[in-house]
Structure 1
Amino acid sequence: MRITGLETFPVPPRWLFLKVSTDEGIAGWGEPVVEGRAHTVAAAVEELSELLVGRDPLAIEDHWQVMTKGGFYRGGPVLSSAVAGIDQALWDIAGKTRGVPVHRLLGGPVRERVRVYQWIGGDEPSAVAEAAAEQVEAGFTAVKMNGSGRMRHIDTPAELDAVVDRVAAVREVLGDERDVAVDFHGRCSTAMSRRVLPRLEPFSPMFVEEPVLPENTAKVRDVVTSTSVPIALGERLFSRWDFRDVLRSGIAVAQPDLSHAGGISEVRRIAAMAEAHDVTLAPHCPLGPLALAASLQVAFATPNFLIQEQSRGIHYNVGSDLLDYLVDPSPFRFDGGEVAAPPGPGLGVEIDEAKVREAAERGHRWRSPVWRHPDGAFAEW
C-alpha cells in the first residue's frame, strides 16, 4: 500500500480536515488546524506531502520522525499541527487496514467509558448558573467555564470578587457530586493568579486551566505552590520537550491537544511522561469530530486519563457543530456525561465526504478575537 495524495478541506465553523488517500482505496482522515490559521496549516500539510506520497502509510513512526526532524527548523504550532493531522490520518488508515479501532493498536482499552465535560458561559462568562443547570439536566457531570473576561495585570477587588461569585454560583447548581473546571485562558498574571486561586479553594474546582500564559511557564511552580487547587495547562505546548519542565513544576493535569501536539503518536508519549510525574491527562479539544475521535482513541488506551473536552454546542460552533459532518453521529452519544468506545475501525467515525467538500467550497476565515482594555491597550483573549 502506498500514499497517493493528501487533500485539505477548510470547513465551517473554524476547522481544517485532511484526507490521506492510498492506492488500495483505504483513506484516512485527520484534523490539522491552528484556530485562526487554518490556511497556513494547510500550506504546511502540502509541503509535508512531498515526504509522504509514494510511501507506505503504515510506517507511522518513521513518518513522524522525518516530518518533525527532517527540516533544520523544527516545532511550533503550525508545523506541529500539520504533523498532528497527518498522524491522525495515518493511524486511521492503520486501524482500517487491520479492521480494529486505533486504541486496540495502542495496547487495548483500559476503561469501558470516557467521561466528558461541557462548556458553558462563552468567552466573557455570563449566566453561568443557568447554563450549568441546563447541562445537569442534559446529564453531564462536569462543566468548564471561563473564569474571567479581560483581566488587567493587577486587577481590582471588584473583578476578583466577580470571578469568585461566578464560580460560587456554578458550584451551588452542581452540588458536591459534580465538577466544575475553570479556564483562565492565560489572562491572569502570576500576581493575579496567586490572588485569585486561594479564593477559589472553597469551591473545589476539578482544576484551574492555564492561569498564566505559556510564555510564563517558568512561573508555574510559583502558582502551584500558592494554592491547593489543581493546576492544568498544555493546550499551547506542542511536544514532549515543551512539557518536560512543566511536568516537573507540580501541575496536576496535562492538556495536550491531539490536533496541535503532534497527533496520536506524540500525545501518547506526553501521557506516559505525565504518568511518571503523577500528572493526569485531559486532552484539549474545542475542535471538530476528527480531533475528538483521535482524543477518544488515546483516552481509552491511557491509564492516567482524567476527562475529555468536547465541542458540542460550544460558543465557537456558529453555523456548524460537532456532528454535522458525520455519516453516523452515534459514536459521540454522551450518556450520563460519558461516551463508550467507538466500535468502528480506525478513528471510529465515518466522515460525510460529500458534505465536507460542499462546506469546503464555502470555507471560513475564522480569526481569534482581538481584545483591548478600556484604555486601548491590548488584552489577552
Structure 2
Amino acid sequence: MSYFKKDKRAYLLLADGSVYQGYHFGCEGTTIGEIVFTTGMTGYQEVLTDPSYCGQIVMQTYPLIGNYGINNSDMESSKSWVNGYIVREWCEAPSNFREAGTIDAFLKSQGKVGIWDVDTRQLTRKIRRQGTMNGAITTEDVFAHKDALLEKIRSYKIVNPVPKVSVSKLGWFYERENRANHVALMDFGYKHNILEKLLQFGCNVTVMPWNSTMEDIRELNPDGIMLSNGPGDPTDNIQVIDNIKRFIDYGKPIFGICLGHQLMALANGAKTEKMPFGHRGLNQPVKDLTQDRVYITSQNHGYAVVNNTVDPSVGQITHINMNDGTCEGIAYPDIHAFTVQFHPEASAGPNDTRYLFEKFTDLMERGQEGCL
C-alpha cells in the first residue's frame, strides 16, 4: 500500500490561501490549475487521458486510486491532459490481468505532478461550498514562496484549450469494410470511445480539426456530423460557433456530446453558464423526457446550457439532470440535429444510452427526410 512511500512532502495551495499537506507521487515540481473533483470509483485512467480536463487539477473523491493499474486499452487520447492529480491514497501493487504499470509510473511518464494523503473529503466539501477554485501542487517549500505562488494561482485562467487538444491535420480517416455511413467527427478534444462507438455502429469516421470550415465539410461530403466533447468555456469558441451555424445550413444530421452540446446551443441562440462545481463522475441521473425514463450517466463538464434561454421554436429540451434540473439534452427537429450533455459512449449504464447512437445512424440512413 502507498503508506510505505511517505518519503517526500508535497503541498496543495488554494486560491483562498489554505494549504493542504501531503506526499508527492508522479513528478516533482510545481503545477497550477483549476481544481475540480470527480466521483468515479473506477475510470481513473480515462480521467487522466480525457482532453476535457485540459488545464485542470483533478481530485478523485474515491479514497483508493490505482488498484487495477494502468493498461494500454483504456486511454481516451494519446496522452494525459490534466495539470495535476490529487488522491487520498494510491496503490503501488495493482492487480489486474491487463495491468502494465502503476499510476505513479504513468504520471512520471506523462510529466504530471501528483499529491496524495490529502483529506479529499474535506477538500470536496470546500469546493462544494465555495465553488471551483484555482490552486497549485508543489514539492517545493510552499511557505517560503506562498505570496508569489498565490499571485500566479489567482491570475491563472484556462485560455483557448480546444486548439491544444485537437488534431492539427485535416482528415484522420478510420475505415472498416462494408460501412454504410460516413461521419465527420469534429475534434474539440474527442474521447477515443466516441470514435469506437461510431465504428461499432457501422460508420466510417474522418476526424476533423477544431477549425474545419464549411468548405472542408462540403469537400468531405459526410452523411452526418459529430460535435465532440472538449475543454474550457464554450463561449470562447467564437469561430467554432460560427462554423456550426453553417453546418446547420448544410442540412446533414448533427449529433453533439458535452462541449458539442453547448456549442450547438450557442449557435442556436441559447446561453451557457459556469456551474458552481460541475458534474464529474459516473453516476449522474438524467431523465429522458421523451421516454419518461431515468438513466445513469457519465459526465464531465463545468458549464451548462441555461434552460430558459432555449428557444422552444428552435430546440426542445429532451433530457434534464435529476439532481439539479440542468439541461442535459436538446433536440432540433427542423435541422435534423440533437445533442446531449452527458457521455453516452462511456457505458455508465452500461449500454442504456446506446440508443442515441442508433438515433444518429438512423437519421443518416434516412437523410434529410429523417425526423427526431
TM-based fold match above 0.5: no
**Normalised-by-shorter TM-score class:** 0.3 to 0.5
**Quick one: higher RCO (CA 8 Å, sep 6+), 1 or 2?**
1
TM-score (norm 2): 0.34
Give the strand-richer structure, 1 or 2.
Answer: 2
